[in-house]
């Protein structure tokens, strides 16, 4: 399995952890810590040294209740960081946004993957990415970030999410985005109750066709807090446990804040998964 991010081909048969780099003042887990360009770039470099294969730069929080960010402000947050990371690092840099203007500017600055919680459903988003050679991560979300946790409901969450992701994959293929440029994310915590999240994590291997990589992001999320009773800053152990379990269920990419610890967990889980498949 592979993911083509412009000039880089990621072999997803190997370890792949996406490091989260929020350059926002209001992220639920690390808001404000990396809001300055210098601090953000230093953190990005550090995550690569810890084993990150992708750095995901985000300039607008998508936590429930977060305030919307104007395009100009989002651009001012992410573009200088992307430019410096691209100049310093040899790995793909991802832009976490739903705004086509930001996608285009980020790709022009050197980003090679678009990570979109709305799965390219905003007007002109699909065409914007299709006109480039960037990869895209299509995420499922029920509702909108500000209100998505109000009352999410599903007939069958696994079937519903798989159907949505398949539809978005088909839309991308029809627009000219190559299959090798696509990965999907079930959107843990995005319009889902704990039981929905757990059902999806238990069914990672059934969320997309075998050649489509599945990205899982559960790092520090409320699901971990609900299970462990711990606040966002104390959810490392629970997040790492979920990362390892997601790999065992078939995830190809793990999105995480705590890169070094997640890389170790993913190495262990990957080794066990290979052994169970008869590879060792």
Active site residues: 221, 255
Tell the residue number behind the tokens 């109750």, with chain if given: 193
CA atoms within 13 A of residue 136's CA, in its CB half-sphere: 33
Look at phi and psi of residue 244 and say left if phi exceeds 0, alpha if psi is from -120 to 50, else beta: alpha
Distance CA 183, CA 178 (A): 11
């Amino acid at each position: 399995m592979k993911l083509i991010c412009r000039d880089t081909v990621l072999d997803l048969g190997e370890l792949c952890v996406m490091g989260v780099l929020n350059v926002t003042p209001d992220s639920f887990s690390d808001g404000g810590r990396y809001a300055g360009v210098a601090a953000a770039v230093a953190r990005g470099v550090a995550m690569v040294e810890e084993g990150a294969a992708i750095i995901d730069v985000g300039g607008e929080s998508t936590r429930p209740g977060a305030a919307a960010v104007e395009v100009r402000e989002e651009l001012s947050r992410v573009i200088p960081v992307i430019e410096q990371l691209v100049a310093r690092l040899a790995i793909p840099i991802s832009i976490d946004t739903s705004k086509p203007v930001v996608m285009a500017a980020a790709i022009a600055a050197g980003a090679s993957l678009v990570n979109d919680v709305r799965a390219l459903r905003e007007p002109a988003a699909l065409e914007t990415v299709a006109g480039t050679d960037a990869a895209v991560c299509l995420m499922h979300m029920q509702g909108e970030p500000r209100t998505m946790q109000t009352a999410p409901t599903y007939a069958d969450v696994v079937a519903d999410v798989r159907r949505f992701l398949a539809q978005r994959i088909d839309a991308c293929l029809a627009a000219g985005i190559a299959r090798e440029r696509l990965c999907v994310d079930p959107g843990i915590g995005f319009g889902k109750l704990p039981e929905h999240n757990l059902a999806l994590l238990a069914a990672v291997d059934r969320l997309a066709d075998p050649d489509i990589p599945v990205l899982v992001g559960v790092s520090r999320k409320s699901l971990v807090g609900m299970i462990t009773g711990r606040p966002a800053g104390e959810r490392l152990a629970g997040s790492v446990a979920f990362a390892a379990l997601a790999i065992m269920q078939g995830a190809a990419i793990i999105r995480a804040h705590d890169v070094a610890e997640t890389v170790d967990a993913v190495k262990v889980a990957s080794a066990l998964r290979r052994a169970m498949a008869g590879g060792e």
